[in-house]
């Protein structure tokens, strides 16, 4: 089966798209898939290199600023550009730059190697003067040495004795991409980096920069070596960049090895010394050896994570592509998370949203729990900021996590679709519970999870209230951003109930298993015993709106009172609606940007009977535009859950290749990370029906008629399972561990390594 994503495109539009599709990253640094030689000057390229979490602080302008509106926000910065390698062919006064848009391209292929962790370009090129050569560009961002961006170029002459000049550059003069007409992209392209050090020594070319406001520093150290004995080197510097210029006659195959080491001041105090040290350690490894280490890492990852689809090569390519880029974007240090665009672009200014917990963590939790733990540690690291935000918003206690952030403070300037989405605190609590159910990691729960659960539970007591014996939550916004500032959003209420219930359950667990730790935690939080009773009372009395006439859960108290949006009268070019209608216009109608109540039914299915979930699905499907990339995967999962397998498959197709086929038209700005996580969920939680519950794993397996079968792996409480569903039956094999409790269509089974489960398909 395919482990490659391949392209032969040389047109500008596709190359701009491939800057996102072919990006390289390792969770710490991300390098967009720009061409070493660049594009024509009029191309709207987004030439980008990023460090996860590396940001500046920018002011938020308001016409009328009210209390507790955030005054500034963090903004992911595009850092030093070390991708540049220009190859000039010919005599001094007649040189031509080798590129896809000059000379004659005789053959060209670009490959993303999903199993090797690197990208490759293979170019057969002929100059207008008749010089002919083949060039192989390879590049990777190392999982072994997280600071390393490695480029390795092989030049093979076809014609003899080719005069050649290679210019390798590290450029400190960079800006972020801006588009003033698209709210999903920053409108500010101000240069926010100051070059503080630009030099060349025997250690390599060094460019160090500092941000204007946050005063964070980043540095890039680049070395270049050519295998030819006849090459001559010289170095040029100006105020903005350092260049290494190499001249030679190409008469036999040679290689160029460029290693760029990138680091920032949040990880290293002395950047220059640290980079020199890392460079010297890495010098012990050849490119081939570093490639082997990269492939070893990917082999381990795929052994736990791979999903195979039998019967559809395009979907097979897509699911591996999505999983690979999720890995490349996931922070692995406990200090960073996964931005909405990962490390593939600057969309949404590098902010972390609720996407991580609801759409991305499930895959990591069930396949790579060590990495999931690091992502959860990030949320714990900003807990104090969430406490401060709760106080700022008028609450006496609790933690209100920011809607969008990097360092922990709220970065959302539009509060109806930002701060008002209080559900993010429950989403984060939910992800801690799911991690605990998947791993039984009680030490992590004690050290991090319990505190997060208690502080987020406190928030609901602060924001909600009892009315006629029911606990209600007013003036919030749910996941559907086309409906804002409502009372009793079903999603928010049911997730708050889950949060409150589990805060009590985990508190009692810790109290019983480690009384001393519980005593210390109570003291730290000034937690009174009556608060746990409040949590349970609020959970038990939580108001979950239900309309008996329609037999659905209304999205909120007034949603069903509104007129339904005129879908037939809305031109196709007016989607997404947010780009063509004022928010107030949209808020007045029954129209959903994305799954809201339907998502709640997926996350906490035991709160409602089957018929209400199915009727709700039918109702909301007719009024949902899926203008958000977070939506179709949910309708796929819940379509399978309520018995619409064909419909579930159609929605799945919208998600699986969303970026590969540029379905939403904006993949050039960066990949849609949440949707990528959603494709994994649509298979594992949709067609296989996986749910994590207290008494074990639950499956409701179904097989789309378009496939011959599917297979995936999950880790459950330190045990590795292989799950497959083919025409001959549903099978679960325990690859490591003792035994596991399973529920298949609500019937209980126990499996072990000696006794796998095989159920003939119904």
Q: Which residues are catalytic?
A: 481
Nearest Cα residue to 636 out of 619, 624, 654: 654
Beta-strand ranges (E) seen in 572-621 are: 589-590
- Report the DSSP pairing between strands 739-744 and 696-699: parallel
CB 216 within 8 A of CB 181: no
Bridge partners (DSSP) of residue 121 are 110, 137
Cα 726 from Cα 720, distance rounded (Å): 20
Question: Residue 708 has which token pair?
Answer: 């011959």
Phi/psi of residue 604, each to 5°?
-135, 70
Please report how the helices 369-381 and 383-392 are oriented relative to each other, as an axis angle in degrees rounded to 10: 40
Phi/psi of residue 585, each to 5°?
-60, -45
Question: Residue 382 has which token pair?
Answer: 């900003």
CA distances from 345 to 81, 264, 445, 581, 689 (A): 14, 18, 34, 27, 33
What is the CA angle 455-456-461, rounded to 5? 95
* Sign, Cα dihedral of 8, 11, 12, 14: negative
Nearest Cα residue to 118 out of 240, 227, 26: 26
C-alpha of 278 from chain center: 27
Bridge partners (DSSP) of residue 162 are 250
DSSP state of 565: P
Phi/psi of residue 10, each to 5°?
-125, 0
Q: DSSP labels for 211-228?
A: ESSS--EEEEEEEEEES-
What is the CA angle 220-226-232, rounded to 5? 100
Cα 743 from Cα 747, distance rounded (Å): 5
The answer for residues whose C-beta is within 8 angstroms of residue 322's C-beta and 6 or more apart is: 656, 659, 675, 676, 677, 679, 680
DSSP state of 345: -
421 by DSSP, 3-state: which?
A: coil
Q: DSSP labels for 294-338?
A: HHHHHHHHHHHH-EEEET-HHHHHHHHHHHHHHHHH---SSS---
What is the CA angle 552-555-557, rounded to 5? 100
* Sign, Cα dihedral of 706, 712, 716, 721: positive
């Amino acid at each position: 089966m395919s482990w490659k994503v391949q392209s032969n495109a040389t047109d500008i539009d596709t190359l701009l798209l491939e800057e996102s599709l072919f990006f390289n990253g390792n969770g710490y640094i991300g390098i967009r898939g720009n061409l070493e030689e660049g594009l024509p000057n009029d191309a709207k390229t987004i030439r980008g290199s990023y460090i996860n979490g590396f940001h500046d602080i920018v002011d938020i302008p308001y016409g009328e600023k009210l209390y507790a509106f955030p005054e500034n926000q963090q903004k992911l910065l595009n850092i030093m550009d070390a991708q540049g390698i220009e190859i000039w062919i010919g005599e001094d006064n007649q040189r031509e730059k080798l590129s896809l848009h000059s000379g004659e391209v005789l053959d060209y292929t670009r490959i993303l190697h999903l199993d090797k962790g690197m990208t490759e370009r293979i170019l057969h090129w002929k100059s207008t003067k008749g010089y002919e050569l083949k060039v192989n560009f390879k590049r990777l961002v190392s999982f072994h040495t997280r600071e390393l961006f490695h480029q390795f170029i092989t030049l093979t002459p076809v014609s003899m004795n080719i005069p050649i000049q290679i210019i390798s550059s590290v450029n400190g003069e960079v800006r972020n991409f801006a588009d003033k007409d698209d709210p999903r992209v920053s409108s500010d392209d101000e240069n926010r980096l100051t070059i503080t050090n630009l030099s060349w020594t025997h250690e390599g070319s060094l460019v160090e920069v500092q941000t204007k406001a946050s005063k964070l520093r980043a540095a890039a150290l680049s070395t270049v070596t050519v295998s030819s004995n006849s090459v001559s080197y010289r170095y040029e510097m100006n105020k903005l960049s350092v260049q290494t210029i190499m001249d030679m006659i190409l008469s036999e195959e040679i290689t160029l090895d460029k290693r760029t080491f990138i680091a920032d001041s949040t990880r290293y105090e002395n950047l220059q010394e640290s980079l020199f040290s890392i460079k010297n350690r890495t010098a012990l490894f050849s490119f081939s050896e570093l490639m082997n280490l990269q492939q070893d890492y990917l082999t381990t990852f795929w052994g736990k994570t791979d999903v195979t689809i039998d019967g559809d090569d395009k979907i097979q390519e897509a699911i591996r592509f999505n999983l690979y880029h999720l890995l490349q974007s996931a922070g692995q240090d406990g200090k960073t998370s996964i931005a909405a665009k990962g490390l593939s672009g600057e969309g949404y200014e590098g902010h972390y949203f609720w996407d991580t917990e609801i759409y991305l963590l499930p895959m990591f939790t069930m396949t790579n729990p060590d990495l999931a733990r690091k992502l959860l540690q990030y949320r714990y690291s900003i807990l104090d900021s969430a406490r401060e935000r709760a106080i700022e918003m008028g609450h006496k206690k609790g933690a209100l996590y920011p809607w969008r952030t990097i360092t922990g403070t709220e970065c959302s300037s539009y509060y109806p679709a930002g701060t008002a989405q209080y559900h993010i605190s429950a989403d984060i609590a939910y992800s801690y519970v799911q991690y605990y159910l998947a791993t039984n990691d009680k030490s992590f729960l004690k050290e991090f999870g319990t505190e997060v659960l208690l502080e987020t539970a406190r928030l609901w007591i602060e924001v909600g209230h009892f009315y006629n014996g029911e606990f209600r939550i007013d003036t919030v916004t749910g996941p559907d951003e086309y409906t804002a500032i409502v009372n009793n959003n079903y999603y928010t209420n049911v997730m708050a109930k889950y949060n409150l219930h589990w805060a009590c359950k985990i508190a009692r667990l810790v109290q019983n298993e480690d009384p001393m730790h519980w005593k210390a935690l109570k003291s730290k939080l000034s937690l009174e015993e009556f608060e746990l009773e409040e949590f349970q009372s609020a959970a038990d009395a939580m108001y979950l709106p239900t309309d008996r006439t329609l037999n659905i859960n209304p999205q909120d108290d007034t949603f069903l009172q509104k007129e339904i949006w005129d879908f037939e009268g809305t031109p196709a070019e007016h989607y997404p609606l947010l780009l063509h209608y004022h928010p107030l216009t949209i808020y007045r109608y029954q129209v959903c940007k994305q799954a809201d109540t339907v998502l709640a039914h997926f996350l906490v299915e035991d709160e409602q009977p089957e018929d209400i979930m199915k009727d709700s699905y039918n109702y909301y499907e007719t009024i949902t535009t899926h203008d958000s990339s977070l939506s179709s995967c949910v309708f796929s999962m819940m379509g399978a859950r309520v018995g619409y397998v064909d419909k579930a498959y159609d929605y799945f197709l919208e998600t699986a290749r969303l970026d590969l086929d540029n379905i939403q038209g904006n993949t050039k700005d960066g990949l849609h990370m949440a949707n990528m996580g959603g494709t994994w969920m649509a298979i594992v939680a949709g067609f296989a029906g996986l749910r994590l519950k207290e008494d074990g794993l639950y499956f409701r397996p179904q097989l789309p008629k378009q496939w011959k079968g599917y297979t995936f792996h999950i880790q459950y409480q330190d045990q590795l399972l292989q799950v497959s569903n083919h025409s001959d039956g549903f099978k679960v094999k325990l690859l490591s561990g003792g035994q596991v409790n399973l529920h298949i269509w609500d019937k209980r089974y126990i499996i072990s390594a000696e006794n796998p489960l095989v159920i003939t398909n119904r």
